[in-house]
Amino acid sequence: MTDTDATRGDIRPPGLNSDEIPTLCAFLDYLRDAVAAKLSGVGEEAARTPGVASGTSLLWLVTHLTAVEHNWFVWAYEGVGDAPLEDEAPPLGEETVAEVLDRYRAAVRRSQEAVARCTDPGRPGVRSLRETAAPSMRWTLVHMIEETARHAGHADILREQLDGSTGR
C-alpha cells in the first residue's frame, strides 16, 4: 500500500451482492476512482510525460476517459448533443491536472445521473458510436467497465514509471 492509498480509506473492490445495475455501477465506480487516484498528486509536467512511444500519458488517459464517459452515456445513450466529444491526441491542451480531474469527475457524475434515470437496462439508447444499433444501458455499463479497467491498468504502469508508486 502506498501513502496515497492509506489516505483514501477502504479501497477494496466492491463486495456487494446486489441487483445487476447497482453491482455493475459499483465496479465501474471502483475503477473510476482507481484511474483518478493514479493522476492525483502527479505534477503538471509528469502528468503530461508520455510513458510509451504512442504518446500516452496519465493526463491523456483521464482526458480520453472523460470523452468516453460523455460519448457513451450522454451523447449515445441519452441522445444529448450534436456530436460526440473528440479525444485530444497528445500533446494535450493547457488544462491543469486539477482541471482534468474535475472535468472527469463531472463527466462521471453526469454518467451516473444517466444510469439513475434509466428504468430498463435492456432498453436501447438513442444512438450508437459504432456502426451498430444503439446499445442498451446494460451493454454500455459493461463496455465502460472494460474500457476503464483497461486504462486503469495503463495508468498503473505509467504511474509506476513516473515515481515508483504501485498499488491502487
The CATH H-level (homologous superfamily) assignment of domain 17-163 is dinb family like domain (1.20.120.450)
Q: How far apart are CA 123 and CA 135, in angstroms?
A: 8
Interacting residues of 59 by C-beta distance below 8 A, sequence separation 6+: 39, 47, 48, 92, 95, 97, 100
Cell numbers representing residue 132 in the block: 451498430
- Picking from 34, 28, 18, the residue whose alpha carbon sits closest to that of residue 72 is 28
Q: How far apart are CA 48 and CA 64, in angstroms?
A: 13
Integer-rounded Cα radius of gyration of the chain: 16
DSSP conformation letters of the chain: --HHHHTT---SPP-----HHHHHHHHHHHHHHHHHHHHTT--HHHHH--SSTT---HHHHHHHHHHHHIIIIIIIIS--SSSPPPPPPSSP-S--HHHHHHHHHHHHHHHHHHHHH-S-TTSB-S--SSSSPPPBHHHHHHHHHHHHHHHHHHHHHHHHHHH-----
Which residues are bridge partners to 124 per DSSP? 136
- Note if the pTM is more than 0.95: no
pLDDT tens track, the chain, 168 positions? 233 344 445 556 666 577 899 999 999 999 999 999 999 999 999 999 999 999 899 999 999 999 999 999 999 999 999 999 887 655 567 889 999 999 999 999 999 999 999 999 999 999 999 999 999 999 999 999 999 999 999 999 999 999 998 876
